[in-house]
Amino acid sequence: MKKRKVEVVVISDVHLGTYGCRAKELYKYLKSIQPGTLVLNGDLVDIWQFRKRYFPKSHLKVIKQIISLANKGTQVHYLTGNHDEMLRRFSDASFGNIHLQDKLVLSLGDQKAWIFHGDIFDASIQSAKWIAKLGGWGYDFLITINSFSNWCLEKMGRERFSFSKMIKNSVKKAVKYITDFEVTAAELAVDQGFDYVICGHIHQPEMREVQTKNGSCVYLNSGDWIENLTAIEYNNGAWQMYHYENEDNDEREDVEDLNDLNIYRLIKKVTDHKNEQSA
């Protein structure tokens, strides 16, 4: 399968380790691209809801593919989110081409992009974490029920339906929160001289220019890999939103990858990357 070359790819809110995660689709997407820079903008692994009894091979294959990309030269920036905040104690650590950070500033020609997860804007998480965790469990349960209902709808030849999107779009407070989130991020970006601000966290893919009293910037949100299956790609001086669509892939290649699923060997390759180049 021919891989697309992409300068920068941003994905967020994968939530590996939960039933709602669409790991198979994300794996196919990662296999289809050859990015110069891959930004994992928070909540790659859902440590809040992590269960030892549930981490299937499809989730492990996503990690394997990310490590494989790093081994082949992709600069991988893992930015921490609220569901993987335990990793923040290790921020600014690097393992070969994999860099663990809380935020990232990318220079894109004469423009600058400010990238961070976005949970710093969520007062409920900062002041009452147990409420946020309860909401996360409820969301995962809702997605699990929704997955079963969508399986039934597809068997009947009908379109998929999202319970959570219906709730977000119908509850005024949810709509207001999303709007406030976007405006707050844009205002901070303008004040600090950034041309782009890129977040995740709210699972709402978006790309729009936001005007503030001090100027304007482009706000982008990479969505998630639970419902929206979206990523943000940068090429030739422009950003665009990528929406995953199921495509036929070489099943033989997937079988070979499963048989060669040795994460520890790949980690060693990544951490020894510099030594291998100088050898």
Q: Which residue ranges make up each domain of the chain? A: 4-278
Residue 72 to residue 277: CA distance in whole angstroms: 11
Pairing of strands 98-101, 238-243: unpaired
DSSP letter assigned to residue 48: T
pTM (predicted TM-score): 0.77
pLDDT per position as a tens digit, 16-44:
988 889 999 999 999 999 999 999 999 99
- The whole-number average pLDDT for the span 195-202 is 94
CATH topology of domain 4-278: Purple Acid Phosphatase; chain A, domain 2 (3.60.21)
34: left (phi > 0), else alpha (psi -120 to 50), else beta? beta
Element (H, E) at 86: none
pLDDT per position as a tens digit, 94-135:
999 999 999 999 999 999 999 999 988 776 445 445 445 444
pLDDT per position as a tens digit, 240-274:
999 998 755 544 555 545 555 555 555 555 555 44
